Amino acid sequence: MSNVTVCARFRPRSSKEFRDHNDGVCVRGIDAETFVFQDDKEDELTFSLDRVFYEESPQAAVYEFLALPIMRDAVNAINGTIITYGQTGAGKTYSMEGPGIQDCDEHNKGLLQRVVDGMFAQISSLQDIARYTVKLSMPSLSINEFISNSLRDLLDLSKGNIQIKETKTQGILLSGVTEVPVSDSAEALQHLCTGLANRAVGETQMNMSSSRSHCAYFLTIQQDSVKDKRVKTGKLILVDLAGSEKADKTGAEGRVLEEAKTINKSLSALGNVINALTSGSPSKASHIPYRDSKLTRVLQDALGGNSRMALLCCCSPSTSNASETLSTLRFGMRAKHIKASPRASEVKFAKSQEEPSSATKDEKCGRILEKMKERISNEDIKMLEEVFIHEGIISSLDSVEDVESAYEDIVSKTIQSLQQAIEELQLKVQKLETENKGIQEQALRNQEPGPVGKMSRFISSWYASFFTS
Ligand SMILES: Nc1ncnc2c1ncn2[C@@H]1O[C@H](COP(=O)(O)OP(=O)(O)OP(=O)(O)O)[C@@H](O)[C@H]1O
Ligand SMILES: [Mg+2]
């Protein structure tokens, strides 16, 4: 078990922070791992993380500490995920892309360009040992799509809603997402540029190029061993989250305000998953609410298990953002306690090295489909999947979305019919109450006779007493 690597990065103060708040800072560095944070009430809290990058820290330092080891492992078929998290305008996209994905100098290059460069450099040094194929995909949870609850493919916007599937053998899969083969850094950057141009951006007062979407960069690195024909695959995911924001501070209103609420909601879902993963006794399997948002669903494997993970908590050092910085740091401290068990994935495809027969038919088909995916298009794979299910070769590689929506359907239908039954019951109760009231009144009237009845009763009793006396 290893822990998640958690680092904090404090960006340089912005001109607005200088102008509005002089040079007040809420952070005092102690060393490369520890700093003192001063909150709104001037109370001091000491934080210790795996590494702290202060205002002057170069992009290369962040890459070398945070991303390089994970990239190296991914080339060796150990999955890895790198996430930038923090308040809007805190430096997440800057850390990921630098000032621009293509037009930035060596010094300013972000994690993305450095990871791609480093990965191809490592691959070329291993050419004698294995043949590598790298594929890139860029799913994005943009805000408009959040509302209609869909996941977008930034490399092909014509694909509407990317389905999330879960299989026993491969975990979470994004069915039908475009995976472009990339053979060198330049080609990868070209595709990244196309994808990023499609990423939704809006404007807030706080950050004029604010990311209004959570964007993930998936690099799937497959190695075919020259010696023994084994195939291994490592998945490297870089995630640039959209930033949380306080509407009153950023001046967000209308559509932008709605977007901010949606972003905050999905980030809360991420926080809830991390809380669930890090609280409770490890022996007790507790419920982890991955399904509460698409973001946590896409990151399920990275958060919950077979993946190395690094989190960069991006913060403003200005006193004006102290409360947001504190909440980002608390998020990071919590994530530090997630336990991960990354291990190399491996598929053997030589006949003598087939998987043990204990694998189910569905699992085997899943593996065959995955293998074929490397050679033929996703559409063909989808068709094959349907044919397999239709012919009864596999039961179903169920789409989680389908199951979820069917479940929601049944739940809402049940609720509807229950509500109808309650309404009918209420009407019946009302009717019965009215009838009951009428009967009671009638009974009372029968018990208490009118003046004529009273007189006749008096006469008959007088008459009786007269004859008996
Ligand atoms: N380490 C840094 N060095 C220099 N400038 C930085 C640094 N970090 C951030 N900036 C600048 O701060 C501004 C906001 O950064 P960025 O766009 O990365 O924020 P963000 O966290 O991605 O915000 P959002 O959540 O709104 O997308 C940008 O102008 C960026 O260039
Ligand atoms: Mg951003």
- For the segment 406-439, what is each residue's pLDDT rounded down to a tens digit? 555 455 556 656 767 787 788 888 889 888 988 9
Among the bound ligands, name the one nearest to the CA of residue 245. Answer: 1
Contact 10, 315 (CB under 8 A): yes
Pairing of strands 80-86, 230-240: parallel
pLDDT lower than 70: segments of the chain: 1-3, 21, 142-150, 200-209, 246-260, 280-285, 305, 340-341, 343-367, 369-379, 381-382, 385-417, 419, 448-469
Residue corresponding to tokens 């953002």: 321
Alpha-carbon gap, residue 271 to 53, rounded angstroms: 23
Residue 115 is predicted with a pLDDT of: 98
Q: How many CA atoms lie within 13 A of 344 on its CB side?
A: 14
The total of other beta-carbon atoms located within 10 Å of residue 115's CB is: 25
Residue 89, marked binder: yes
Residue 218's Cβ-side half-sphere holds a number of Cα atoms within 13 Å equal to 24
Q: Which residues surround ligand 2, an ion (CB under 5 A)?
A: 92-93, 211
Residue 95 Cα, ligand 1 centroid: separation in angstroms? 8
User: Longest C-alpha distance within the chain, in Å?
Assistant: 135
Cα 304 from chain centroid (whole Å): 12
- Integer Cα distance of 337 and 330 in angstroms: 12
| DSSP structural state of residue 129 | T
Instruction: Pick from 9, 53, 63, 93 the residue to mutate for probing ligand 1's pocket: most ligand atoms within 8 Å of its CB.
Output: 93
Distance (angstroms) between ligand 2 centre and the Cα of 89 equals 7
| DSSP count for the chain of H helices, then E strands | 16, 18
Q: How far apart are CA 325 and CA 331, in angstroms?
A: 10
Q: Which atom from ligand 1 is nearest to the alpha carbon of 243?
A: 25
Torsions phi, psi of 81, nearest 5?
Answer: -135, 135
Cα(131)–Cα(450) distance, integer angstroms: 109
Residue 345 has which token pair? 């994935």
- 304 with 5: CB under 8 angstroms? no
Q: What is the pLDDT of residues 233-246, one digit of tens each?
A: 999 999 999 887 76
Give residue 169's pLDDT: 75
- pLDDT of res. 445: 83
* pLDDT score at 336: 86
- Quote the strand ranges of 320-378, DSSP E: 339-340, 347-348
Which protein residues touch ligand 1 with a CB less than 6 Å away?
11-12, 86, 88-94, 99, 207, 209-211, 242-243, 314
